[in-house]
Structure 1
Amino acid sequence: MLVSHYFELAEHVTGGISESVAHQRKMLDRLDVSYTTRQTLDADVMHFNLMGPRSVWYAKRARSKGIPVVANTHVTAEDFGDSFRFTNALAKPLKPYLRWAYGHADALVCPSEYNRGLIEGYADVPTTVVSNGVDTEKLEGFESLEDEYRERYDLSEPTVFLVGHVIKRKGLETFVELARTRPDVDFAWFGPLDLSLKGRETTALIENAPENCTFTGFVDDIRGAFAAGDVFCFPTHEENEGIALLEAMAAGKPVVVRDIETFSWLEDGEDCLKVSPEPGGSDVEAFAAALDELADAGRRRTLGSAAADRAEAFSLDAVAGRYRDLYDEVIAE
């Protein structure tokens, strides 16, 4: 079997999509599935990770020749807004484009049940849920970086942290205001700032954040984030899955998440704390209450240990076989 595993705009797209592609290729290596990163009609399966115009063009050609087409549904109109400058304006026309683009696949790979629910309203194409997975090898030895990264960013235990691109959709305003209500606690957001790509509101939130709220920008070794951080706080409003969340759990960090459908698989009080503001209440107050519960080191250890156990089901080894099964299925059909 040869898979054409193509990632359009690979040199420009970073963050979760890029991580997912890297994970997929690691899984294919472990499965001993032959693949090329080029678009080629000599493959048994064409697998696209971003359905841009070039991918759609090849998908059309592949299907005309009887080559099955698989596509990942990393992008939805729902999670495109409140990301970078102009994305809100583009989110509306993006949906009909994605309906058209995803309709050129024989099978769609969704990272979560929530994402699948959205995608089933986009295209009449069979869907399969396959997690983006978590690469535990990438995290190995993160504990050894604790002192270095705490000193580098002047962080003290317990540090509340987040990992990923700094964008409004991921709960930026809540994160900043949480830091403002807890001036004796350090907050750190590890990830690219890209201020030139941000809107004025996002830029203002970052520039006017309190002193105890650090935006590190790009970090050369992401293990340092999981070494220096103690409580992973993820107030995102919309997410297809959340690789950084899985990484934090695999690292044994207690996680606090907004109670949204994406995270329905998590058990509140068991492997995470879920935050849902009371009607008319403030989400900042609700998140602050959850963080106060985790001021106790013993509670952090218990919740973090349960999170690590739950994350094992998302390891690359646990997920990989689903891709082989999917390829076999589309080829047989």
Structure 2
Amino acid sequence: MKISHYFELEDHVTGGIHESVVHQRKMLDLIGLPYTTEPSLDADVFHCNLMGPRSVWYAKRARRRNMPVVANTHVTAEDFGDSFRFTNALAKPLRPYLERAYGLADALVCPSEYNQRLIETYTDVSTTVISNGVDRGKLEGFESLEAEYRERYDLRPPVVFLVGHVIKRKGLETFVELARQKPDLDFAWFGPLDLSLKGRETTELIETAPENCTFTGYVDDIRGAFAAGDIFCFPTHEENEGIALLEAMTAGKPVLVRDIETFSWLEDGTDCLKVSESGIGGFVDAIDRLSDPAERDRLGSNAAERSEAFSLESVANQYQSLYEEVA
């Protein structure tokens, strides 16, 4: 069996979608399944990761040849808003487009049960939940970078941190306000800023953040973020899964999340701390609770154990089973 594993705009799309595709290809290598990254119709399955116009064009032609089409549902109208400039305006017309595009597939791959429930309101195409997974090997040796990255960004432990593109949807306003409420702690958001792509409100939040809130911009070795950080604070409002969250758990960091449906699989007080209230007070209380090193160690250890089920080795066979089912 050969897979056409296509990622439209591969050279331009970054962040979680890019990481998911990297993980998928590593999983295909692990199970020894041959694939091409070209949008080829000379294969047994056409698998597309971003349903842009070119992917739709190939998907239509694949169906005419009775070639099964698999698509990942990385993008939804719900998580498209509050990302980059103009995304709010595009979110509304995006939904009917995605309804038609996802409807071309024979099987849809959803990264979480929440995403699956959402996608089932888009189309009646069969859905399967397969995690984006976490590349444990990518984080190997991260501990050795602790001193270097704390010195580079002038961070004193315990450091409250976040990893990924700086996007309003991911809880930027909460993160900044939390830093303002806790001036005795250092906060660091590791990830690309791309200010030219941000809206005015997002840019203002970044530029007016308090001194104890650092935006590092692009980090050459992401292991440094997990080495420098102590408390992974992820107040996102909407998420399909969250690879950075899985990475933080794998690194044994205690995680603090907003109590949204995406994170229903996490157990509050065991795998993480969840904040359900809309104001900042719940996050302040949770940070205070995590000021105790023993509590951080307990939650971090539990998180690391829970993350083992998301390793690429654990997830890979689910793709093989799906391909065999549709082929």
1:314 aligns with 2:310: yes
Name the % identity: 78
Using the alignment, how far apart are the partners of 2:202 and 2:153 within structure 1? 22
Q: Structure 1 stretches of 5 or more lacking a match? A: none
Using the alignment, how far apart are the partners of 1:285 and 1:274 within structure 2? 12
Secondary structure, counterpart of 1:256 in structure 2? strand
Deviation at 1:15, TM superposition (A): 0.1
Deviation at 1:283, TM superposition (A): 2.3
Alignment of 1:211-290 (within 5 A): 211-277=211-277, 283-290=279-286
1:130 aligns with 2:126: no
Matched letter for residue 253 of structure 1 = K
Structure 2 partner of 1:187: 187
Using the alignment, how far apart are the partners of 1:152 and 1:184 within structure 2? 19
Secondary structure, counterpart of 1:97 in structure 2? helix
**CA deviations over 1:186-221 (Å, ceiling 9, x no partner):** 000000000000000000000000000000000000
Alignment of 1:1-333 (within 5 A): 1-277=1-277, 283-331=279-327
Using the alignment, how far apart are the partners of 1:190 and 1:330 within structure 2? 40
Using the alignment, how far apart are the partners of 2:164 and 2:60 within structure 1? 34
Q: Structure 2 stretches of 5 or more lacking a match? A: none
Secondary structure, counterpart of 1:283 in structure 2? coil
Using the alignment, how far apart are the partners of 1:305 and 1:86 within structure 2? 41
Secondary structure, counterpart of 2:85 in structure 1? coil
RMSD: 0.5
Secondary structure, counterpart of 1:187 in structure 2? strand
**CA deviations over 1:38-90 (Å, ceiling 9, x no partner):** 01111000000000110011011111111100000000000000000000000
Using the alignment, how far apart are the partners of 1:11 and 1:232 within structure 2? 29
Q: Where has structure 1 moved over 3 Å in runs of 4 or more?
A: none
TM-score, L = length of structure 2: 1.00
**CA deviations over 1:168-189 (Å, ceiling 9, x no partner):** 0000000000000000100000
TM-score, L = length of structure 1: 0.98
Using the alignment, how far apart are the partners of 1:246 and 1:41 within structure 2? 34
Using the alignment, how far apart are the partners of 1:86 and 1:69 within structure 2? 30
Using the alignment, how far apart are the partners of 1:245 and 1:321 within structure 2? 22
Matched letter for residue 271 of structure 1 = D
Deviation at 1:118, TM superposition (A): 0.5
Secondary structure, counterpart of 2:184 in structure 1? coil
Using the alignment, how far apart are the partners of 2:279 and 2:147 within structure 1? 32
**CA deviations over 1:228-249 (Å, ceiling 9, x no partner):** 0000000000000000000000
Using the alignment, how far apart are the partners of 1:73 and 1:39 within structure 2? 18
Secondary structure, counterpart of 1:11 in structure 2? coil
Deviation at 1:124, TM superposition (A): 1.3
Using the alignment, how far apart are the partners of 2:302 and 2:124 within structure 1? 38
Matched letter for residue 291 of structure 2 = A
Deviation at 1:318, TM superposition (A): 0.5
